[in-house]
Amino acid sequence: NAGVTQTPKFRILKIGQSMTLQCTQDMNHNYMYWYRQDPGMGLKLIYYSVGAGITDKGEVPNGYNVSRSTTEDFPLRLELAAPSQTSVYFCASSYAQSLGGETQYFGPGTRLLVL
């Protein structure tokens, strides 16, 4: 199993540009998540999905959009990049089991710089 994979590893965007961060998992997990991590801080939840076709906002959703058309893929879209979106983005997945007892598996991250 590759686990959770993310592309690209690193990207530089100009203000106002758009991009999609890709996330794929091969563990047949129904839950998927997007987090961002600013320097020296903990991760903050952007969006999450409990299954194909179902998504919901996390703590910091503004400026982002997601879709979940398959179990495996959960892309994150930035429409109008702003310097405040400079961060490291982590995708994660988990399998629904005992409520609250799910273990999350994280991808290696995408480092985004908006200039």
Partner 1 sequence: DAKTTQPNSMESNEEEPVHLPCNHSTISGTDYIHWYRQLPSQGPEYVIHGLTSNVNNRMASLAIAEDRKSSTLILHRATLRDAAVYYCILAGGTSYGKLTFGQGTILTVHP
**Contact positions toward partner 1, by CB under 8 A?**
4, 31, 33, 35, 41-45, 48, 50, 58-59, 90, 92, 94, 96, 98-109
Using DSSP, state whether 84 is helix, strand or coil. helix
Residue 75 vs 106, nearer CB to partner 1:
106
Residue 9 vs 14, nearer CB to partner 1:
9
Residue 14 vs 100, nearer CB to partner 1:
100
62-71 CB burial, b ≥16 within 10 A, e <16: eebebbbeeb
Shortest separation between residue 96's beta carbon and partner 1, angstroms: 7
Shortest separation between residue 80's beta carbon and partner 1, angstroms: 26
Q: Within 13 Å and on the Cβ side, how many CA atoms surround 95?
A: 7
Non-local CB neighbours of 107 within 8 Å, separated by 6+ positions: 3, 4, 5, 6, 23, 90, 91, 92
Shortest separation between residue 2's beta carbon and partner 1, angstroms: 14
Residue 85: both structure tokens together: 């979106």
Shortest separation between residue 24's beta carbon and partner 1, angstroms: 14
C-alpha to C-alpha distance for 15 and 41, rounded to whole angstroms: 23
Residue 51 vs 83, nearer CB to partner 1:
51
